[in-house]
Amino acid sequence: MSFAFVFPGQGSQSVGMLAALGAAEPAVQSTFAEASRVLGYDLWQLVSEGPAEALNATERTQPAMLAAGTAVWRVWRARGGSVPARVSGQRAIEAAKARGAKRAVLLPVSVPAHSSLMRGAGERLRTRLASQPVRTPEIPYVSAVDAREHTAPEDIRELLVRQISSPVRWTDTLRVLSAGPIAQVVECGPGKVLTGLNRRIERRPDLAFLALEDPASIETALSATSG
């Protein structure tokens, strides 16, 4: 039985996220401690205590969500969870509603991500990435930039640059992830934003959506994916 992992990004952060999992699993604390040493500040304290304004600043949100996804992944692997078949990583409210949108939500982010306003930042990131090693992934990666599977390091490097200013093609990405023998799509990180969205996009009766955010949900997912 195959399954896919998805990782939430900006907008899924909240003060107190992963509190129950952090209390139960040493891998969560060790992951945030590792991130804190690199960042030079206590990332777990920020995530646990806030303030929300600081956590919602992009320069703090991005490492917090990366650490959170990595921590949950490490707990999953330490608990004997199977390796997934695939993995993937997720403005104007008035205008949207004027065009017929039933619901438009203001996300707690501090930069205009996934818009043309971020192209300059993407080019600066290109310069930084040029000196960073990118390895061939052990698990095929489906990018939300183009909704395609990628394994070549140079392709992934380019996608990291493009994703800053590119729209998120989540509907197409989910359909690629869930194609073929995939039986579960598992959200690895705090909250259930992607899980709720996925259920509305893909209504296959044989496809299950799970979210890992606390010990109970990990136990449920381990049982489901081992069948």
Q: Name the pLDDT band for 106 (thresholds 50, 70, 90).
A: low
Give the range among 13-17, 67-71, 204-208 with minimum mean pLDDT: 204-208
CATH code of the domain covering residue 14: 3.40.366.10
* Domain hosting residue 39, numbered range: 2-225
Number of compact structural domains in the chain: 1
Q: Coil, helix or strand for 155? A: helix
Triad 29, 35, 38: Cα angle to 5° = 145
* pLDDT tens digits along 197-213: 899 999 888 899 999 98
pLDDT of residue 33 exceeding 90: yes
Please tell me which residue, 96 or 59, carries the higher pLDDT value: 59
* pLDDT tens digits along 148-166: 999 999 999 999 999 888 8
Predicted pLDDT at 84: 82
pLDDT of residue 187 exceeding 80: yes
Structural contact between residues 191 and 108, judged by C-beta atoms closer than 8 angstroms: no
Angle of helix 26-39 versus helix 58-78 axis, rounded to 10: 150
pLDDT of residue 78 exceeding 50: yes
192 token code pair = 């259930």
